[in-house]
Amino acid sequence: MPARQKTSRSRTPPAGLAARELVVRLVSGVLIDRRPLEHVLAEAFAAPRFSGLEPRDRALARAVAATTLRRQGELEHVLGAFLERPLPRDQGRLWPILLAGAAQLVCLDMPPHAVVDLAVETTRRDRGAHRFAKLVNAVLRRVGERGRELLAAQDRVRLNIPGFLWQSWSAAYGPDTARRIAEASLREAPLDISVKSDAAGWAERLGGVVLPTGSIRLAPHGRIEDLAGYAEGAWWVQDAAAALVARIAGDVANRSVADLCAAPGGKTAALAAAGGHVTAVDRSAPRLDRLRRNLERLSLEAEVVAADVASWSPGRTFDVVVLDAPCTATGTIRRHPDILRLKGPEDVARMAELQASMLAHAASLVGPGGLLVYSTCSLQPEEGEHRIEAFLAAHPDFQRLPIDAAEFGGESAWIGANGDLRTQPFYLAQEPAELSGIDGFYVARLRRGP
């Protein structure tokens, strides 16, 4: 008899595996490699393994990864109940696999059988974690059976919010407000856009609502690039709080404006659309490329300069200088849950020092009688109120120009006794609740003496 030919034992990967492997790569990139989620996302989407994924699979992977990072404290509590001993250090991506699997089971209500099977297959394919496939199977099956029950009596806020943030917010705003900040920060943000004109018309066309501040709010759905008005440059994506910075700069028509730390360009677009002669400055070449593309799509003009804002010397002054300073971004946790896992108190101190230096330099760019608008998307007073108090003490030629909520359709509660703007993530309550919230921003407006 003829010899029997050997058959290949290779098999087709199960449906959904690539998306789950992408989830693990994203979560690992944040928790193990300590990199921002958006950076890991961009790199992963460019990799051959994931570049061909369907948009819905990309969206699924991002949603699962974001949920895992947002609710990591809860997930660790659940997993800890079913792990009999600590995991070894040499575990590959085992912990991200378990966290992501638990997130799908107890947070996203995905089918347990599929979640467990895909997690086990992902483990088998991981060079460092493959020997733990049976453990993953056993633990996640128990999570699927009892995970929600274990969470029912837990304090979700205290499990998920790092201690330093909870203590900081409690000290600055009181425990009750700190809890409201935390609860709002743990909800996913809706999509806000700024329009060049006809907000009511575009809201109707896009199925959104016009907020009191003038932004349009949409429930997240599908690719932004596929929405009406994107290709023709009718609008740009910008949180409602970030959109207030340009509004607070006042009437900039025919005035010279320096937008410092400008990329990716939301403020530049708003200032240019309002008629300002804008010089947009940022040190990041890739982010400036994105800014240029946005301006081109929007048919708006600005001078774009690649330079370090802390030392940029254009040899002239400006009527208005806007400094949206680098910060810990703790006001944007709704959109960037990786901040919960990447930031610490040392980052607040480091950012405050950088902001002080940038503010001092930005002041030298303001002409006599001109405005300096300082903003951060941080909830930490060290990066907001404390910075401005220290700046004014060292620069007596500047004075606060108090902000009035009526200037931008806001509420009086948003303005502090000092006249500065401070938005909290629980502001802008809407129906349904999924459309509520706003990034936590601080904005101060200062005028230089003649």
Residue with tokens 């990799």: 47
Q: Indicate the SS3 state at residue 304.
A: strand
Q: Partners of 57 in the beta sheet?
A: none
Torsion of CA 35, 39, 41, 46, to 10 degrees: -120
Q: Partners of 217 in the beta sheet?
A: 192, 209
Q: Is the dihedral of CA 175, 386, 261, 397 positive or negative?
A: positive
Both structure tokens of 218? 């949409």
CA angle 234, 269, 194 (to 5 degrees): 50
Both structure tokens of 273? 């659309």
- Is residue 377 part of the annotated active site? The answer reads yes
234 near 196, Cβ under 8 Å?
Answer: yes
Through-space distance between the first and last CA atoms of the chain, rounded to whole angstroms: 103
Q: Indicate the SS3 state at residue 154.
A: coil
Distant-in-sequence, close-in-space partners of 129: CB < 8 Å, separation ≥ 6: 91, 92, 93, 94, 97, 123
Which one of 107, 261, 327, 377 is the catalytic residue? 377
Catalytic residue ranges: 377
